[in-house]
A and B are shown apart, each in its own frame.
Chain A
């Protein structure tokens, strides 16, 4: 932003801007040079911002009516659903909003993986993103506990018990987390407090995420460094604003379909049974967006190692900029990486599927193979691929490829070419 020279036209504007350069910021945001070849996978950043704000706004209203007490939480949720004006709408938006948030974040992450957006000089953006993702998982888990249904209670029991795997101090930590000797009212009240706090931490990190993005600028589908501003860029407003807006509306149609027509399909039926410490549900399953990690956790026979594997599966992403040794960012020019990428996508989907199934027999075997492959991809495939892969020649700019006659000329000139690769 430092290169920005901007003087407001009005006198008042200038007076204000000299003291607090908000107008300079606004000007930076509207003029921000964005690669003109960004495809629809890039619209999920804006969609995620929308998701976060939706969750915060609906969450605020819910918190006005919700009662964080083990004896009253379930009833207060029913009160919201029945007696609060449009309470059902607000709660269904909030509950399905969490799923939509994760759907968007997974697309956003896998877009980064495909186009190499995590590579230099964007490592900090990526790492902040991973922290946001971790906080999202924490917020989602804490939020799922609040209605105090059977899955809330037993999910909380299972997840907090993971800490007991820590040698020596594990049991003590679990008691400390619970505020007692089992999941109970003290657990619920602290979970509510933290669930309220985390979205604002996420909001702060999102600001840093975008700030860090605006230093090097957006990556783009062909993954090359571009001059800014130049013929390769368009100003953020109106070009990207309208495109993000269009994609957001498409997303909202899907969102609305869930909220209005199948509001409970993504949740578990058991969560409409009030929490009962004396009755354990037949299968304890987390929400769909945590299933791949749940599968990894259960695929390791040892509890402590299972917890370590699960955490590593997420934290390994933070090391990705250094594990991927290839100089080429976009998978468009990496024929081998592109195939491994899709294998990874399939691997994660398989992990999600077996995570929902009982951990026994064939399912357990599949989970183990898929877990092993997940780590293999990051620890072996990516580092080796960077040295071994024969990549395709990369164009020098988006608009004016000077590699006349190269196989990717079409790719560069015409975005449709990208998809035919």
Chain B
């Protein structure tokens, strides 16, 4: 048994060692409470719905969300809009479909099965409209950045006047959390920018938190299922391990050697 603890210790040591060595650049991000962190973490439904509103009214004019469909908005564990609400959201977008019987492409209102409509025709068009920088797709953005949600949350609030000695080109902004501090996206959030339908005060901090929560969900739509299932799986494994441990003791007691 003692040996076993030693092995576990060794294993954990290696893992922690490795995790630390992966975290290369360390910046102190702004901290906030995330409801989805921890083994029982769940999304805050209202925050997801508000986050969608911020994405839709602010981010979506430049950032695509190409792996998400309108039907996902209804899904369990997500913002859980009602089906009618999601249908209305989808219908508010024009989707290119076709070709029809005449061989023509045509526009029609969106349906639940459609993917989120892209703000630009293609990557080149997106670059042309944004001073050469491609606004990254936001579906898995949280997972594609080292600091994850804390990074995105901080970045949205990290705009500052450049310190003395730093000159910025046209269309480049200073952000203390951006890698290299130079970012081509201007400050997007300002107090009262959106009007939340649930009456929440739309401060910059609130909007940053809501939209980041929404982005966490778009990146990990099955997070709640994962947490729930993980808890059950681990409890099951622990109980089984204890049972097997005592069976082992019993079996090995037939011979004098200790296990």
| Per-residue A-contact encoding for B99-134, CB less than 8 Å = 1, 0 else | 000000000000000000000000000000000000
Known contacts A78-B139, A234-B255; is-contact A256 B237 (Cβ 8 Å): yes
Contacts of A257 in B (CB 8 A): 230, 234
Contact with B along A204-241 (1 / 0, CB 8 A): 00000000000000000000000000000010001100
| C-alpha spacing A250/B2, complex, angstroms | 14
Contact in complex: B227, A260 (CB < 8 Å)? yes
**How near does chain B come to A99, taking the closest CB pair, in angstroms?**
9
Measured between C-beta atoms, what is the minimum distance from A43 to chain B in Å?
Answer: 9
Which residues of the partner chain A approach B227 to less than 8 Å between Cβ atoms?
260-261
Q: Which of B19-27, B48-56, B157-165, B194-202 contacts A (4 or more CB under 8 A)?
A: B19-27
Interface mask (B39-79 → A, CB under 8 Å = 1, otherwise 0): 10000000000000000000000000001000010000000
Question: B residues near A, CB below 8 A?
Answer: 2-4, 6-8, 10-11, 14-15, 17-19, 21-22, 24, 39, 67, 72, 136, 139-140, 143-146, 148, 179, 219, 221-222, 226-227, 229-231, 233-234, 237-238, 240-241, 244-245, 247-248, 251-252, 255, 257-259
Considering the complex, give the chain A residue whose CB is closest to the CB of B226: A260
Chain B binder among A158-166, A175-183, A348-356: A348-356
**Of the residues A238, A270, A415, contact of B258 by C-beta under 8 Å:** A415
Main secondary structure of the interface of A (DSSP, over half): helix
In the assembled complex, the CB of B253 is this many whole angstroms from the nearest CB of chain A, namely 11
Say whether A89 contacts B140, CB under 8 Å: no
**Is there a chain B Cβ closer than 8 Å to A264's Cβ?**
yes
A414 to B136, CA, bound (A): 62
CB distance from B127 to the nearest CB of A (A): 11
B12 to chain A, nearest CB (A): 8
Q: B241 contacts which of A92, A234, A246, A265 (Cβ < 8 Å)? A: A246
Q: How many A-B residue pairs have CB under 8 A?
A: 133
- Assembled-state Cα–Cα distance A246/B4 (Å): 11
CB atoms of A103 and B221 under 8 A apart? no
Chain A residues near B139 (CB, 8 Å)?
A: 78
- Bound state CA distance, A265 and B15, in angstroms? 10
Rank and list the top 5 A-B pairs by shortest CB-CB distance, nearest first: A260-B230, A272-B144, A356-B21, A249-B241, A272-B143
Within the complex, the shortest CB–CB distance from A270 to chain B, in Å, comes to: 7
Residues of A with C-beta under 8 A to B39:
261
Residues of B within 8 A of A273 (CB): 136, 144
Shortest Cβ distance from B235 into chain A, in angstroms? 10
Does A260 contact B229, Cβ atoms closer than 8 Å? yes
Using A269-B145, A356-B22 as known contacts, say yes or no to A36 and B238 having CB atoms under 8 A apart. no
B251–A288 contact, CB under 8 A? Answer: no
| Residue from A41, A78, A106, A246 within 8 A of B67 (CB atoms) | A78
Apart from A78-B140, A246-B248, A272-B143: 4 A-B pairs, beta carbons within 8 A: A40-B7, A242-B248, A245-B248, A357-B21
Kindly state the separation between the CA atoms of A256 and B244 in the bound complex, as whole angstroms.
18
Q: Are A242 and B244 in contact (CB under 8 A)?
A: yes
A19 in contact (CB, < 8 A):
no
Contact indicator A103/B233 (Cβ below 8 Å): no
Question: B219 to chain A: closest CB distance in Å?
Answer: 8
Is A250 touching B8 in the complex (CB atoms < 8 A)?
A: yes
Q: In whole angstroms, what is the CA distance A410 to B172 when docked? A: 73
CB of A37 closer than 8 Å to a CB of B: yes
CB distance from A195 to the nearest CB of B (A): 22
Task: State whether the Cβ of A315 lies closer than 8 Å to any Cβ in chain B.
Answer: no
Chain A, residue nearest B136 (CB): A273
Partner of B3, one of A40, A78, A356: A40
State whether A82 and B221 are in contact (beta carbons under 8 Å apart), knowing that A260-B233, A265-B19, A415-B258 are contacts in the complex.
Answer: yes
> How many of A's residues come within 8 Å of B, CB to CB?
57
A69 in the interface, Cβ–Cβ < 8 Å?
no
Chain A residues within 8 Å of B7, by CB: 40-41, 107
Contacts of B258 in A (CB 8 A): 414-416
B238–A349 touching, CB < 8 Å: no
Q: Are B251 and A242 in contact (CB-based, < 8 A)? A: yes
> A88 near B: Cβ within 8 Å?
yes
A75 and B64 CA atoms in complex are apart in Å by 14
Complex Cα distance, B72 from A81, in Å, reads: 13
Within the complex, what minimum Cβ distance (angstroms) separates B122 from chain A?
A: 13
Residue of B2, B234, B247 touching A416 (CB-CB under 8 A): B2
Beta-carbon contacts under 8 Å, A384-412 to B? none
- Determine if B4 and A40 form an interchain contact, defined as CB atoms under 8 angstroms apart: yes
A288 neighbours in B (Cβ, 8 Å): 18, 21-22
Q: With A239-B251, A253-B241, A416-B2 as given contacts, are A349 and B257 in contact (CB-CB < 8 Å)?
A: no
Q: How close is A275's CB to chain B, nearest CB, in angstroms? A: 12
**B240 and A249 contact, CB distance less than 8 A:** yes
- The proximity string for A residues 271-301 relative to B, scoring 1 for CB distances below 8 Å and 0 otherwise, is 0110000000011010010010000000000
The interface residues of chain A lying within 8 Å CB-to-CB of B6 are: 419
Q: Check A377 for interface membership: any CB of B closer than 8 A.
A: no
B234 contact from A39, A256, A268, Cβ within 8 A? A256
Return chain A residues, CB-CB under 8 Å to B144: 269-270, 272-273
A137 to B11, CA, bound (A): 20
Does A254 interact with chain B (Cβ within 8 Å)? yes
> In angstroms, how far is the closest chain A Cβ from the Cβ of B29?
14
User: Is there contact, CB below 8 Å, between B255 and A88?
Assistant: no
Q: Is the CB of B257 within 8 A of A415?
A: yes
